[in-house]
Structure 1
Amino acid sequence: MAQTQPHILVVEDDRETRTLIAKYLRNNACNVTTATDGREMTRIMGDHRIDLLILDVMLPGEDGLTLCRKLRAESQVPIIMLTARGEDVDRILGLEMGADDYLPKPFNPRELLARINAVLRRQAAAMTASATEGATALGFLGWKIDFRLRELRNPEGARVAMTSAEFDLLRTFCERPGRVLSRDSLLDLTQGRSAGSFERSIDVLVSRIRRKIEPDPQEATMIKTVRSGGYMFTPVVEVVTAPQSH
């Protein structure tokens, strides 16, 4: 979950379901507001900054699919659709209308929380990618990576020696924080298939980078291994002013 409590708006006309969702999310570090229909949803969104919307398909008045379509025309707020029907056609319609995810009822509240976390992580990664596009230097946990000078400096300001391949891989991670990146995608993004590279080379490079930036390379916290997935860069990444060359 994000460092600050995300504000979740639950739009659900069934009182029992609405109460269950709100209670569970509040117990898991979320700020929750509830609404019973589209009119109430619109009023709340006009008065508050909402980080994610949980929207039931079957609502009195305008249904969830219609509301989703209208919202997406004017807002990029993440939307998770809920439905009692659980039919593929509803799921497909919801996604086509611009929903970020879709969960059929009945569902385990833990799964809903996991979906919320995943959607918020994807949004944060997309926002970071947008914010860092065109940047010449990025920072994470006191470290600075300068794309123009192709150098890495530690929190004390000292230059850390890196090979070209190590630098390119770390840059790829920094530009895509919070995203699970497969070995295949990392190869494509850094070396390309024409280089005759293989997946194991990514593991070797990750191991080298960890020895240079991780407090404990054996218990990596910055570049995490995702089982059957690849790797994920966990620090918050920010655009920084590139140091001047001397």
Structure 2
Amino acid sequence: MSKILIIEDDAEIAMLEKDYLEINGFETEIIADGKQAVAAILAHAYDLILLDVMLPGQNGYDICREVRGKTDVPILMVTARTESMDKIRGLGLGADDYIAKPFDPAELVARVKAHLARYERLAGSARKADLDDEIIVADLIIKRKSWKVYKAGQEIRFPNREFELLLFLAEHPNIVFSKDVLFEKIWGYDYSGDSATVTVHINRIREKLENDPANPEIIETVWGAGYRLNR
């Protein structure tokens, strides 16, 4: 169930919003003071915020400015101030929408549902992108886009060739590749060197990633055949 924070000092309006949202299956919480609202937003997980502009303690614009960099949930500003500059100001501070008083409660609910659905789509896409970007092997996280590697939460620095070699093996787990094939894939035929370079880089990678480099479990040597990343 989505949880909505209603920040509104007019008790009648706050209860109207609460009643219509709860009828439509949302959980709600009401806060009437601006400063209390900031603390609540930063301390709790809300799915959407209905934010009045004129509040005691701290106005809605300042609240939006203060919390927007710390939460990406939708913020819908609710206010009687309908001038274009007021709307532009709210949207410029990071609000997602602007609802003018007096409002149709059904329209309010419809906008809340639309913004929640949009946020969930965007969040889902972001989660998928993060998952697609990451390869997890034991306690390792390999990030394709940023070329970063983490072991047990700690970042480990890799030169380009070492990272390319590790990434190639991680993208083709449980497959044995000969040193010649790995050399061709990572360095190419035109590179001045030979397949012994692969052994040197594998050993360096093991020193950084294996709990016991002398007895590797992640990148295994298959004698007479090559190397295999176990995943």
**TM category, shorter:** 0.5 to 0.7
Match of 1:77 among 73, 77, 95: 73
Q: Distance in 2 between matches of 1:6 and 1:127?
A: 14
Deviation at 1:87, TM superposition (A): 1.2
- Counterpart AA for 1:89: M
Q: Residue 51 of structure 1 aligns with which residue?
A: 47
Deviation at 1:60, TM superposition (A): 1.2
- Counterpart AA for 2:87: R
Percent identical pairs in the alignment equals 41
Match of 1:74, SS state, is coil
Deviation at 1:44, TM superposition (A): 2.7
Which string of whole-angstrom CA distances, capped at 9 and with x for unpartnered residues, describes residues 25-60 of structure 1? 111100000000222213433443111100001111
Q: Distance in 1 between matches of 2:128 and 2:69?
A: 25
- Counterpart AA for 2:47: D
Q: Residue 33 of structure 1 aligns with which residue?
A: 29
Q: Distance in 2 between matches of 1:42 and 1:114?
A: 25
Which string of whole-angstrom CA distances, capped at 9 and with x for unpartnered residues, describes residues 161-189 of structure 1? xxxxxxxxxxxxxxxxxxxxxxxxxxxxx
Question: Is structure 2 residue 82 aligned with structure 1 residue 86?
Answer: yes
Q: Distance in 2 between matches of 1:83 and 1:55?
A: 8
Q: Which has the larger radius of gyration?
A: 2
- Counterpart AA for 1:135: D
When residues 46 and 98 of structure 1 are mapped into structure 2, their CA distance, relative to the original with a 3 A threshold, is closer
Unaligned regions of 5+ residues in structure 2, if any? 134-231
TM-score w.r.t. the length of structure 2 is 0.54
Q: Residue 135 of structure 1 aligns with which residue?
A: 132
Question: Is structure 2 residue 39 aligned with structure 1 residue 63?
Answer: no
- Counterpart AA for 1:72: R
Match of 1:135, SS state, is helix
Question: Is structure 2 residue 11 aligned with structure 1 residue 15?
Answer: yes
Q: Residue 227 of structure 2 aligns with which residue?
A: none
Corresponding pairs, count:
132
TM-score w.r.t. the length of structure 1 is 0.51
Q: Distance in 2 between matches of 1:46 and 1:65?
A: 16
Deviation at 1:129, TM superposition (A): 1.3
Q: Residue 109 of structure 2 aligns with which residue?
A: 113
Q: Distance in 2 between matches of 1:78 and 1:14?
A: 21
Note the aligned Cα RMSD (angstroms): 1.6
Deviation at 1:13, TM superposition (A): 0.5
